[in-house]
Amino acid sequence: MSPKQQPILSIKGLSKTYASGFQALKRINLDIRKDEIFALLGPNGAGKTTLINIICGIVKPSAGSVTVDGHDIVTDFRAARAMIGLVPQELTADMFETVWTTVSFSRGLWGKWENPDHIEKVLKDLSLWDRKDSKLMTLSGGMKRRVLIAKALAHEPTVLFLDEPTAGVDVELRKDMWENVRSLRASGVTIILTTHYIHEAEDMADRIGIINKGELVLVENKAELMHKLGKKQLTLQLHDSLDAIPVGLAAHHLTLANGGSELVYTYDTQGPRTGITNLLTDLAGAGIRFKDLDTTQSSLEDIFVDLVRQR
């Protein structure tokens, strides 16, 4: 980062111990760059929501500090919060309100006077315009999620937090949502999203931070992270079980599984070539036939296991 470019969000030594005595965050240090999409990746219970809720003012920090564009979230909360939009993890809604009133309400809360043109644009961008007069209780889960996004965008934030934005949203709508997120970034909004799906982080983020048990385990550019961690496995279900891997296939570092009825090949998705073509050619050459095949990507859990082992 060039010295001139201040981080838009700066977290220093942030810790949180809940009243129960449970320590949910352990001395988190993190800088978010302006205009990036940052994915906070971690299993359930890692502390993602706690971190976001502290920054947004919903949970009290136990130690440490956070600044948004130089404004401290406690001593200068008005300036800090005015820049932030939050789409919470839980689908909460004023069931009896209409889309229009609830979104306009949010704009007011953030200290901006009515601006029907802006609300109209937000609702149209999120394909909610034709439902603007519908009561929230009549909307599907995916639509409610988009209403929450509209509420967060109603006051034109410069930093947007999306806490597990795809939970309960079907695949079709996810694509639209990612499109929206990308165009928001293009319009100058910095986006911080949380997810426990690695492929989501992979699809969207410029940088990824991995959080586990309240600790920020690493922060890396996506490309580098995927290179380091993104392994895939190809499993071939064989016609005839093998007792041992034929010597001619040794170069592929295969393993036998399931009592010899399966061959497993591990490869690097980010490598220059996967080696699958060569493998299949060599298999045919060795006269090994297979009924079916299956690929699996290393899960976040695997990655954690790897990470923990490395440290």
Residue-wise DSSP of 124-150: HHTT-GGGTTSBGGGS-HHHHHHHHHH
> Which range in 46-54, 98-106, 214-222, 301-309 contacts Mg ion by CB under 5 A?
46-54
Beta carbon of residue 173, minimum distance to ligand ADP (angstroms, whole number):
22
- Of 14, 46, 49, 192, which one interacts with Mg ion (CB under 5 A)? 49
| Helix, strand or coil, per DSSP, at residue 49 | helix
89 binds Mg ion (CB under 5 A): yes
209 binds ligand ADP (CB under 6 A): no
49 binds ligand ADP (CB under 6 A): yes
**Residue for token pair 């923990």:** 308
Q: Which of the residues 118 through 157 are near ligand ADP (CB under 6 A)?
A: none
Q: Which residue is nearest to Mg ion (CB)?
A: 49
Residue closer to other proteins by CB (options 102, 195) is 102
217 binds ligand ADP (CB under 6 A): no
Distances in Å between the Cα of 295 and the Cα atoms of 234, 242, 263, 276 are: 4, 20, 12, 11
Separation between Cα atoms, residue 231 and residue 224, nearest integer Å: 13
Beta carbon of residue 211, minimum distance to ligand ADP (angstroms, whole number):
7
18 binds ligand ADP (CB under 6 A): yes
Separation between Cα atoms, residue 144 and residue 264, nearest integer Å: 43
> Which range in 45-53, 95-103, 109-117, 124-132 contacts ligand ADP by CB under 6 A?
45-53
Rounded to 10 degrees, the C-alpha dihedral 108/69/167/124 comes to: 50
Strands (E), 33-62: 37-41
Residue closer to ligand ADP by CB (options 24, 150) is 24
Rg of the Cα atoms in the chain: 24
166 binds ligand ADP (CB under 6 A): no
20 binds ligand ADP (CB under 6 A): yes
- Sheet strands side by side (includes 159-163): 84-87, 159-163, 190-195, 37-41, 207-212, 215-221
The site for Mg ion (CB under 5 A) is made up of 48-49, 89
The site for ligand ADP (CB under 6 A) is made up of 18, 20, 22, 24, 42, 44-50
